Amino acid sequence: MSKTKTYWKGYSEKHQTPEFSVSSQKEFKDDVPVDEFLGSDGIDDLKTGRRDFLKFMGFSVAAATLASCESPVIKSIPYVNKPEDITPGVSNWYSSAYYDGNDFANVLVKSREGRPIWLKGKRDGFTQGGLIPRVSTSILNLYNSSRLNGPSIEKKAESWSNVDQEILKKLNNLSAKNGKVRIISNTVISPSTKSVIQDFTAKFSPSDDSVSGCDIKHIEYDPQSYYGIRKANENIFGKSFIPSYDFSKAKTIVSINADFICNWLLPSKFSTDFSKARKPENGWMSKHFQFESVLSLTGANSDVRVKIKPSEEVLVAASILSLLNNEKPGFNLNDETSDKIQSAVKSLLENKGNSLVVAGSNNPNVQMLVNKINYNLDNYGTTIDADNEINLFNGNDQAIEDFQNELLNGDIDGVIFYGVNPVYSLAKGADISKAISKLDFSVSFSEFMDETASVCKFVCPDHNYLESWCDLNPGSNNYSLQQPLIRPLYNTRQAQENLLVWSGLAVRSNSESQAFYDYMRKYWLENSIGDQSSYPNFADFWNWTVHNGFTNSTIESIPSTLVFNDYPVQISTQKNDLDWEYIVYQKELGVGHHAANPWLQELPDAISKIVWDNYITMAPSDCYKLFGIDTSDSKSAWDGIHLGQEEKAFVATLMVNGIEIKLPVYPLPGQTSRTVGVSMGYGRGVNNEDIGNAAFQADEYGNHLTNANGGLVPIGSNAFKLCSFKNGSLGYSGFGEVIATDERYALAGTQTHHTIMGRTSIVKETTYDFWKDNHKSNQEAYNPKIKLHSHAEGGHSEVDATEYSLWDEHPVEQVGHRWGMSIDLSSCNGCGVCITACHSENNVPVVGKDEVRRSRDMHWLRMDRYFSSIEDDNRKEWADSNKVEGDFDYGKLEVPEENPSVVFMPMLCQHCNHAPCETVCPVAATTHSNEGLNMMTYNRCIGTRYCANNCPYKVRRFNWFNYRDYKKFKNFNPTQDQMARMVLNPDVVVRSRGVMEKCSFCVQGIQAAKLEAKKEGRKIIDGEVMSACGDACPNDCITFGDWNDPESKIRDVSGSDRAYQALEEVGVKPNIWYQLKVRNIDEDLAENVLSDESHSENH
């Protein structure tokens, strides 16, 4: 028999000292306070000198090298039963569709060995190739390791069968006592899902009154609501609907606070349509007026931008209407706004019947005015199609307000949440949370234990969209299909299947259950959805629809005649004691679904270039006043609010009806004075809800920040708290107070300068009228070649700068291939899809906020945003001051004006044929290929960074850390997550620390296309090779191809009248051309051309 022995590791354990019992609870020792140790004076006295340190370092490196000689055994696991259409190492493409209640897009998804890794917009279907960053990065959401793995009851994991039983029990109980049950979902655009919900409702609330049953109501709810449009149409045309808008046909566009390029209604389509009308070669260009408060992406792309306050939206619309009716608008608007309204009206009238007026407001009054304007301009039937409705955003604010009141009054017995998170996205979220937790029956279908799910009794996690079958009907005629790209990663079930199972219409099987799929097929067959008649049988039709991703219904809709009803509109000239106005706007992050998506968080905001943060936007002049900056000199005033690595942002508090939001302030040129903007979608996970590690703030060591209670600190604040119901609709703006605080907060931006600082050879632009007059005869007038002075022939002559070079010609012309790219600045609207597409295609590391602050962002492609101005004071000042030697300050060129115009310029490695980086590399790690590529060989690079110093475009990125292992990046770098690392592209290496990296022109794609051509024994077809950025670009701004193919499109555009090369005077002979930007404004740019000449004279 053995004796019972006690083991201990030390005396403290044996005697169970208090210190031991504390420390035994921790897995790791407290951090060693390195700062104190390093900061102590004693460090100077230490015997280990720098040289010794280096010796030890050298030794340990040698030791580590020797130790690593033993190679690890690498495992390889082939399929047991290989699917016929998968070949390891070859990508498959599947069409699908993205829909999350806020965005819709037809997409084409790239799958490798069964893992979706990249997506782009599908060039047909409803959105015609349209894509926005939210959809582009959505693929990473699939691999979020915080997704729920299985259902739970009161947060305790349960099996699906138990959950089913419990839920049925509750439902039957509720039926017995005629309980009130509400299904709250986002707008359901899936016909089959609607039918499932109807079946479920019918099962538990029979229409037969004699039978007891629940009172079930399905309420659709959109956090970013468009109820105002539906309500306005109901009042004016007697029908609650959203028509489809065609920005590609509109010759004059007037937008009142609608950011349709990135966020309003259906940006994935509107952005593309808008761009189509921005190519001067069409023979016409749309003219775009934007009236807005916060400088949005749409405002940045407009020809005329007018700063208004949110409360003036209605006045602007009313003024336009009055002017159209030949009345004198008697509204209190400032002179500039009134002027611009007049020129807008003039332009609208010139293009009567081909213009478009839209408004972003959710206020039915504004939308009714807009309807009247459009009706007045005969736009219905041309740019506005009332017969082809957009089915998105069917949310009824009134109904959701009623639901909120019922819930808070305790009148509701049960609730089911599907695709919505009202605890987060409604202003009274905290109260709603309490009310839900009191309910006996509450179900959430959320993929995460989010704000709403965590107070629900039952959580039945749904599949990700890339794991589900679903049909989507985004617009009247279009039926798109979502098809699963991967088996469910977790123990989840599709929400529709749950409802079917609970209604007794399906039996639960394994995770690959086809219950809803079968239901959907049956529904399509029975309701003859889509173009079934063109196919011999349903199976054929179905397979082709899955293949194409959509079908268009063939039923000819009879054009309805709109009956116009001149519904009276209340034009309230709101007066308020508070003189600040706020507006809650949507930006890249959307309404908060993607808060934990590191790709999206690290995508710089299109205008502010800030990453990983939420902030208050404020006019610089307001900042000066609010924070007491000395404004005697414009330069020093601007410096006072400058954000940089050392200069932190001011922090202000926005107070609205007792609700406080404290955020850093971003001085935004173009912001209307006395207004502030706060973006929605931030501040997720206030109560530590597990929605993904990247949704929370991390310190400079990569650990999550914690608040006083030990909870995690979300990124930004929840601006939905300010969006309360106003007269039956959700309001996103209002009056408030802004109070300065003494605090400072570090914001991380990828671009800290603002204007092009006088270097006009980077961005060239002209006006449409000027271009039209000169593009055949006098290109030099708007696209001047940069000249150098030559004395070669004795006298003085001017020679094209490109004729001089330090190097011999690089033999790429007409040799083999020569890959070239052209970027059209005129149709590029800066949306940033190219950045996210590049990010995921090339395994670009996510570095986090702290590293971005140190200017160590890794984007291979960046979107430079330059503020400029037609009456460019700075440039004039520069020209003037340049006359007096020594009296010139480049810094002054940094100060953008109050309402600047904006240029976006995608900047990536220019693959110079005379690349300055190549000549300075001591180890020949960056060299030139015979195909014109500037190659970067990571395994040869020793990290001297000479190349980055020598690059005139600053597009080389140094890989500072081992991002996939170093703990600093554990919370947001996808390579550090078992799940998220599945998103990596296996054709591109994950670079390690200490090497320089940069755009490779997607050489993996070039090589693959060449191989395909070789295998098929043919030459490469033009258009076959495309870089990831160009492939994803919804607006076809990027042309890529083999310049040596005389038939190629790139050869054609590289010689066009708008083509120029950035900084061509440097003589590096890039393989990238830009097509200069054309704006449709009346003022001519003669002044600018003049200053360009003075520029070159000073060389």
Give the footprint of another protein on this chain (CB under 8 A): 69, 71, 73-82, 87-90, 509-510, 512, 811, 813-816, 925, 927, 929-931, 933, 935-940, 987-990, 1000, 1003-1004, 1007, 1010-1011, 1013-1020, 1044
Rounded to a whole number of angstroms, the minimum distance from the CB of residue 89 to another protein is 3
Q: Which is nearer to another protein, 85 or 887 (CB)?
A: 85
Question: How far from each other are the two terminal CA atoms of the chain, in whole angstroms?
Answer: 98
- Pick between residue 54 and residue 815 the one whose CB is nearest to another protein: 815
Q: Where are the beta strands (DSSP E) in 521-674?
A: 550-552, 580-585, 610-611, 616-618, 649-656, 659-667
**Helices 495-502 and 191-204, axial angle in degrees (round to 10):** 30
Residue closer to another protein (CB basis): 431 or 1052: 1052
**For residue 896, which amino acid is it?**
P
Task: Quote the least distance from Cβ 1017 to another protein, whole Å.
Answer: 4
Cβ neighbours of 898 (radius 10 Å): 14
Listed residue (253, 257, 293) closest to 274, CA to CA: 253
For residue 145, the tally of other CB atoms under 10 A from its CB is 15
What minimum distance in Å lies between the beta carbon of 967 and another protein? 22
Give min distance, CB of 1070 to another protein, in A. Answer: 17
**Closest approach of another protein to the CB of residue 815, in Å:** 6
Cβ-based nearer residue to another protein, 255 or 843 = 843
- CA-wise closest residue to 399 among 195, 222, 264: 222
Burial readout 191-228 (b: 16 or more C-beta within 10 A, e: otherwise): bbbebbbeebbebbbeeeeeeebbbbbbbbbbbbbbbb
Whichever of 32 and 507 has its CB closer to another protein, that residue is 507
For another protein, which is the closer residue by CB, 226 or 469?
A: 469
C-alpha span between 448 and 910 (Å, rounded): 42
Contact 296, 259 (CB under 8 A): yes
- Minimum CB distance to another protein, residue 843 (Å): 11
**Best CA proximity match to 288, nearest among 337, 334, 248, 329:** 248
What are 184's strand-pairing partners?
A: 219, 417
Q: Which is nearer to another protein, 279 or 1051 (CB)?
A: 1051
Question: Is the Cβ–Cβ distance between 459 and 151 less than 8 Å?
Answer: yes
The residue among 68 and 207 lying less far from another protein, judged by its C-beta, is: 68
Q: In whole angstroms, how close is the CB of 839 to another protein at the nearest point?
A: 16
Shortest Å, Cβ 1003 to another protein: 5
Q: Helix (H, G, I), strand (E, B), or coil: what is residue 65? A: helix
Closer CB to another protein, 15 or 75, in the complex:
75
Non-local CB neighbours of 951 within 8 Å, separated by 6+ positions: 916, 917
Q: Strand 1072-1075 to strand 1059-1060: parallel, antiparallel, or no bridges (unpaired)?
A: antiparallel
SS3 state at 244: strand
Whole-number minimum distance, CB 514 to another protein, in Å? 10
Distance CA 683, CA 421 (A): 13
Q: Using alpha carbons, select from 847, 838, 842 the residue that is nearest to residue 970.
A: 847
> Measured between alpha carbons, how far is 870 from 768 in angstroms, rounded to an integer?
14
CA distances (Å), origin 327, targets 318, 322, 330: 11, 5, 9
Q: Which of 595/1050 has CB closer to another protein?
A: 1050
Residue with tokens 């070079």: 805
Cβ closer to another protein: 734 or 932? 932
Q: State which residue, 105 or 936, has the beta carbon closest to another protein.
A: 936
Residue 118 beta carbon to another protein: minimum distance, rounded to whole angstroms:
16
Q: In whole angstroms, how close is the CB of 63 to another protein at the nearest point?
A: 14
- Give 602 or 918: the residue with its C-beta nearer to another protein: 918
The CB-of-813 to another protein minimum distance in angstroms stands at: 7
Q: How far is the CB of 991 from another protein (least distance, A)?
A: 8
868-883 in b/e form (b: 16+ CB < 10 A) is: bbbebebbebbbeeee
b/e map 149-183, b = 16+ CB within 10 Å = ebbbbeeeebebeebbebbeebbeebbeeebbbbb
